[in-house]
Amino acid sequence: MFKPIKKEVREQILFRIKNEGVPVSQAPKEHGVSIKTIYHWLARQAEKAPSIIEVNRLKKENQQLYHIIGKLTTEVDRLKKGGL
């Protein structure tokens, strides 16, 4: 019979897949949830528009990454020119 999965468990599974790199194929084995259920959860999340907070967080992260790339590019160019 169908047994509802607690919200906390669902969130933990999705967090591990998205943030820890756990393969979707491995999560059902570890948590006793069908792979079809996990894909359903992922599809539902993909349909939701991100919040303004999430968009702003991603913009800030993107700017930080551009800054890091710029620094690294400058450093690589300097090293290529022999300016140790």
- Helix 7-19 with 35-47: angle, nearest 10 deg: 80
Tell whether 44 and 55 lie within a shared domain.
no
Please report the pLDDT score of residue 48 as a whole number. Answer: 78
Note if the pTM is more than 0.75.
Answer: no
Residue numbers of the domain that contains 76: 50-84
pLDDT band at 76 (very low <50, low <70, confident <90, very high): very high
Give me the pLDDT at residue 29, please.
87
The 10s digit of each residue's pLDDT in 13-67 is 999 998 898 899 998 888 888 999 999 999 988 777 788 998 999 999 999 999 9
Nearest C-alpha neighbor of 41 from the set 15, 10, 3: 10
Do 11 and 42 lie in one domain? The reply is yes
Mean per-residue pLDDT for 56-79? 96
Q: How far apart are CA 13 and CA 84, in angstroms?
A: 47
DSSP letter at 48?
S
Q: Are 58 and 70 in the same domain?
A: yes
